[in-house]
């Protein structure tokens, strides 16, 4: 058996899997509110002590974590944790423990997804010799590249979500100014993420929000999106439009950086919940509008990942593979 994890800023998934040559089979998957625990080991202890899997022999583990991985350690970007693979291996007696950036782990999952686990935004035509790009907005914004090496995809981590936000029009320039004044600089994830949608909401509202959004609530991004999709507040509608366009523009940036003629995948928890807005044409227009490469981008397949456990699956794929 193998243990896999997808450690996020808000939620963590852990799962015990049967090994499989292509797609490991889940035996038990559990979700945890990340900040309710002192560390990852406390979650592992809780999962492995369950009666259903107590005594199961686990010989390897892999965890995708929301932050840069340096050697065998990782400092999570939005959680005050430092993870050490060797410490976890020693505590639980695992023969091997690997840490991956969360989007690098998700990238390993992308390669084994079924068509039913994807929603097509742009059909395009995937080239067998092309690379693949991946980005995912949630609590933050993650990005990864899948390099095509002789027909085999090799995921590479990235901290592209923390790169500078590139405003494309006057409306976004106003947002950029507001972000610089508040944070000193504007990262892409200050716009393309759950907190980013809240930041955009600040700009699109000059009076009270008619959507009844409590901006102090952890659920504020979801409430903004709901108010927009239900057309209860013009400011929320504009905020979601700006969000989707910025998401599409950054997806196009990733596609250009990766030359992702093999496809561009959109993961994370936000996109599946706003498919109506993602599919109204704004996302793909912003994705394509990058002269002189409109034709190149128009030919790239763009798909939203519907499986919310793709990051966990990818960690299991890596743990089960020889490396």
Average pLDDT of the residues in 253-274: 97
Residue 52's pLDDT band (cuts 50, 70, 90): confident
pLDDT of residue 121: 98
Same domain, 140 and 212: yes
Range of the domain at 235: 114-306
Residue 19's pLDDT band (cuts 50, 70, 90): confident
pLDDT of residue 298: 98
What is the total count of domains within the chain? 2
Angstrom distance (rounded) from CA 275 to CA 283: 11
Q: What is the pLDDT of residues 127-142, one digit of tens each?
A: 999 999 999 999 899 9
- Concatenating the DSSP letter of every residue in 10-68 gives SEEEEEEEE--SSSPEEEEEEEEEGGGSSSHHHHHHHHHTSTTTTT----EEEEEESS-
Which is more confident, 235 or 215?
235
Same domain, 145 and 18: no
Same domain, 195 and 98: no
Q: Is the pLDDT of residue 171 over 80?
A: yes
Beta bridge partner(s), residue 156: 145
Same domain, 151 and 236: yes
Which is more confident, 67 or 226?
226
Beta bridge partner(s), residue 303: 120, 265
Q: What is the largest CA-CA distance in the chain?
A: 60
Average pLDDT of the residues in 18-44: 90
Beta carbons within 8 Å of 84's beta carbon, 6+ residues apart: 72, 73
Give me the CATH number covering residue 18.
3.30.420.40
Q: Is the pLDDT of residue 200 over 90?
A: yes
Same domain, 168 and 290: yes
Same domain, 229 and 118: yes
Give me the CATH number covering residue 224.
3.40.367.20
Indicate the average pLDDT of the chain: 94
Same domain, 284 and 156: yes
Average pLDDT of the residues in 196-225: 92
Angstrom distance (rounded) from CA 254 to CA 248: 10
Q: Is 203 helix (H, G, I), strand (E, B) or coil?
A: helix
Same domain, 188 and 267: yes
pTM as predicted: 0.93
Same domain, 281 and 168: yes
Angstrom distance (rounded) from CA 154 to CA 274: 30
Residue 240's pLDDT band (cuts 50, 70, 90): very high
Same domain, 256 and 124: yes
- H-type helices in the chain, by residue range? 40-48, 85-92, 102-110, 170-183, 194-204, 220-229, 234-258, 275-278, 282-288, 294-298, 310-320
């Amino acid at each position: 058996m193998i243990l896999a994890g997808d450690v996020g800023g808000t939620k963590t998934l852990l799962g015990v899997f049967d090994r499989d040559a292509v797609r490991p089979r889940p035996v038990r998957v559990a979700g945890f509110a990340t900040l309710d625990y002192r560390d990852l080991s406390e979650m592992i202890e809780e999962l492995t002590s369950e009666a259903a899997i107590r005594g199961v022999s686990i010989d390897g583990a892999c965890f995708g974590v929301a932050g840069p991985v340096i050697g065998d350690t990782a400092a999570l970007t939005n959680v005050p944790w430092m993870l050490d693979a060797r410490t976890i291996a020693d505590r639980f007696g695992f023969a091997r423990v690997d840490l991956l950036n969360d989007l690098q782990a998700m990238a390993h999952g992308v390669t084994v997804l079924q068509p039913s686990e994807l929603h097509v935004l742009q059909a395009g035509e995937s080239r067998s010799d092309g690379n693949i790009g991946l980005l995912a907005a949630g609590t933050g914004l993650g990005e990864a590249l899948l390099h095509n090496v002789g027909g085999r995809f090799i995921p590479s981590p990235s901290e592209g979500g923390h790169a500078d936000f590139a405003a494309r029009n006057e409306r976004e320039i106003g947002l950029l100014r507001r972000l610089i004044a508040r944070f000193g600089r504007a990262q892409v994830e200050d716009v393309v993420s759950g907190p980013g949608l809240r930041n955009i909401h600040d700009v699109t509202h000059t009076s009270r929000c008619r959507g009844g959004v409590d901006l102090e609530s952890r659920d504020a991004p979801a409430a903004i999106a709901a108010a927009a999709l239900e057309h209860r507040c013009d400011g929320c509608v504009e905020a979601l439009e700006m969000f989707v366009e910025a998401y599409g523009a950054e997806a196009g940036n990733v596609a250009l950086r990766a030359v992702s003629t093999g496809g561009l995948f959109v993961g994370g928890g936000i996109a599946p919940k706003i498919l109506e807005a993602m599919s109204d044409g704004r996302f793909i227009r912003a994705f394509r509008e990058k002269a002189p490469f409109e034709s190149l981008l128009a030919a790239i397949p763009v798909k939203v990942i519907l499986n919310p456990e793709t990051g966990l699956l990818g960690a299991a794929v890596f743990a089960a593979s020889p490396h």
